Structure 1
Amino acid sequence: MNATDKDRDVLARTLWGEARGEGLDGQIAAAWTIRNRVFDGKAKSWWGEGYAGVCLKPWQFSCWNQNDPNYAYLSGAKPIPAAQFAQAQKAADMVMSGAVPDPTGGATHYYATTMPKPPAWAAGAKETLRLGHHIFFKDVP
């Protein structure tokens, strides 16, 4: 799969929207969950095609929901702080190029521990990593 400039931009915006407070390691982990969806081994994936397709799949990454406070930044209506976006771009580049190993152990899902309660899907999934304010999972039913 050849990633495009749009893939890189959408991935970096997603990382900023989902994990800007987690530091580079947390953003790398979030990026790997997206990469694991991109390369799920299916010819026509439910997740979407390419990084942009996976990130923009409706209701998968809440930062892209139009009612989310991050959406104004991700859509370009408000500017993302340059230093924060540069870090998200760095994480996106590192993961897209394969320069860093997957710290999530193959996770395709995560949720923020700041949520009032875990999502229903987490009950039957295998936890692979706790990092910062996120818990990562694979084998989600």
Structure 2
Amino acid sequence: MNAQPIADNLFTDDNMTALVGARNKQTGHISFPLPLTPNDNIEPIALATRGTVWTYTVQRFPPKSPYLGPADPETFKPYVVAYVSLPGQTMVEARLTGVEPGDVKIGMEVELTAIPLNPDDPVEEQRMIHAFKPV
């Protein structure tokens, strides 16, 4: 079994090339993620794969349960969590990868990628999450 998304309906396809958002059929408002419960007023929409960092913070200690990633305080590596603005659509909260916390800038251009929630898990057990990396 290859690595799989952490949740159904997170990505548009098995290659994890775009996120699935939700568009309100009446108002046109776009949000993320797609609700788990079906709703006649909501339709799935593929979100843009590029955006800009609107704001961010650095997670410097392991989150509390139900966090499923690496949680050993001795080996935990801080990571960046950002709100990424997808122009004309919505904002997505996600990790940033491929950039050190001190190098992140508000307004920097980023693109969608998928990363393992816990890189220490065997490949066949890895659950993939959405993230953004610098362009």
**What is the TM-score with the length of structure 1 in the denominator?**
0.24
Please identify which structure carries the higher helix content: 1
Whichever of the two has the greater Rg, that structure is 2
**What is the TM-score with the length of structure 2 in the denominator?**
0.25
